[in-house]
Amino acid sequence: MSDTAQHSEPNTIEDQMHAIGHAARAAAAELAKATTKTKNAALAAAAGAFRASAQDIIAANEIDLAAARKTAMKDAFLDRLALDGARIEAMAAGLEAIAALPDPVGQSIGEWDRPNGLRIQRVRVPLGVIGVIYESRPNVTADAGALCLKSGSATILRGGSESFHSSQAIHQCLIHGLKVAGLPAAAIQLVPTTDRAAVGTMLTMTEFIDVVVPRGGKSLVKRVANESRVPVIKHLDGICHVYLDRAADPVMAEEVSFNAKMRRPGICGAAETLLVHEDIVDSVLPAVVARLIDGGCEVRGDAAVMRLDQRIKAATDADWDTEYLDPIISVKTVSGVDAAIAHIARHGSDHTDSVITADQAVAEQFLTEVDSAIVLHNASTQYADGGEFGMGAEIGISTGKLHARGPVGLEQLTSYKYVVRGDGQTRP
């Protein structure tokens, strides 16, 4: 936190952020009472505004892109920042998809009677105010704002400074949607400054913000997790494993390994390490490795693996702890499922791990003992995604164990309360 945030003179960043917090709290109370129909109307109107304002959004995005090109940002960065007609249409469609999801607010998630006649109900309620801190991906402004709105919470969005103008243009469309539906504009606020002190202040605003969701690279998430006084739903790295057991079907081993790494090497559910039972290194592994290398993947292996193909590089200790997010995979020989589980416990990131085996006992041991948010049997780690689980859009994949684990969708963005109905009961 910068010094700026530690004083409280008029018009400091701190004052500005507190005013945003106050407005968010008031909007949250309104939003908690909004009907599903009203929230969906806001999303539909915002989607319409995206389409109608596509040229304005692209013009704002051009300002950001021009500045980013001047500071010699990498191509991957520029690609994530850039918006065009297709990407704006995808944002609009994303909002409509969120409108089509069931509203979690008000859902009864348990109901029972007590012998004294009290009827107890657990009911989903909004979290209140959600802070979202993200990098220069303008589409997150739309996705995160829409998910929080549908879950009944007010949002304070703080995007990367390089996407400032794009995010503001997108935010205007969300505001339009809120106004059309008669909801308070402060239900989705965008921090109107690129001053980094604003983030430091947000992370201390426990009276105004119920939870902070950092969305972005490891350094952003770590900074937020280390600094925040507000509870954090965090998604750290995805060092995902595929364990090819002795009883793995050879074709399945090849198909799943290739898909787990190469379908999209840059997503958090991509496999980074292949663990292979020592008994199948000579029988099953050669085809798996050949498929990966021929498909453009760099393979780094231990000594037993390196024997198989001259193109395999030597893995170092650091490889077992690395999230490549690139077409690179490390391959290690293990003595069996116990050793595989021990390796994952030591080097994994509690994200997603898969076992390929026809041996049910091995599968059950792996599924039970691997302590990750998502464990799979005979399936690709690339399924680690709320949409693939049938849960709809998500704000991230939580690697923490509290509140939400795995995909964080609408339900995970809510809390609950106990509603107790009686007829005059007093406790003896």
Residue ranges that bind a copy of itself, judged by CB under 8 A: 29, 32-33, 112, 114, 118, 120, 125, 127-128, 210-211, 226, 229, 231, 233, 249, 251-252, 255-256, 258-260, 263, 345, 363, 367-369, 371-380, 382-383, 388-390, 400-403, 405-406, 415-427
Cβ distance to a copy of itself smaller for residue 179 or 405 = 405
Q: Which residues contact 259 (CB under 8 A, 6 or more apart)?
A: 380, 382
CA–CA gap between residue 365 and residue 245 (Å, rounded): 12
CB atoms within 10 A of CB 132: 25
CB of 6: closest distance to a copy of itself in angstroms? 16
DSSP 8-state class, residue 336: S
CA–CA gap between residue 212 and residue 208 (Å, rounded): 11
Q: DSSP of 251-270, one letter per residue?
A: HHHHHHHHHHHHSSTTSTTS
Q: DSSP of 99-160, one letter per residue?
A: HHSPP-TT-EEEEEE-TTS-EEEEEEEE-SEEEEEE-S-HHHHHHHHHHHHHTT-EEEEE--
- What the block records as the tokens of 284 is 């099953």
CB of 61: closest distance to a copy of itself in angstroms? 30
CA–CA gap between residue 118 and residue 16 (Å, rounded): 46
CA–CA gap between residue 288 and residue 265 (Å, rounded): 16
Cβ distance to a copy of itself smaller for residue 138 or 396 = 396
Question: CA quadruple 412, 402, 375, 234: dihedral positive or negative?
Answer: positive
Cβ distance to a copy of itself smaller for residue 199 or 271 = 271
CB of 83: closest distance to a copy of itself in angstroms? 26
CA–CA gap between residue 224 and residue 216 (Å, rounded): 11
CB of 129: closest distance to a copy of itself in angstroms? 10
CB of 244: closest distance to a copy of itself in angstroms? 13
CB of 239: closest distance to a copy of itself in angstroms? 16
Amino acid at 383: Y
Cβ distance to a copy of itself smaller for residue 95 or 363 = 363
- What the block records as the tokens of 93 is 């469609």
Cβ distance to a copy of itself smaller for residue 168 or 273 = 273
Cβ distance to a copy of itself smaller for residue 38 or 193 = 38
CB of 59: closest distance to a copy of itself in angstroms? 36
CA–CA gap between residue 354 and residue 381 (Å, rounded): 6
CB of 215: closest distance to a copy of itself in angstroms? 17
DSSP 8-state class, residue 381: G
Cβ distance to a copy of itself smaller for residue 84 or 371 = 371
Cβ distance to a copy of itself smaller for residue 53 or 259 = 259
Cβ distance to a copy of itself smaller for residue 101 or 120 = 120
CB of 383: closest distance to a copy of itself in angstroms? 6
CA–CA gap between residue 107 and residue 411 (Å, rounded): 10
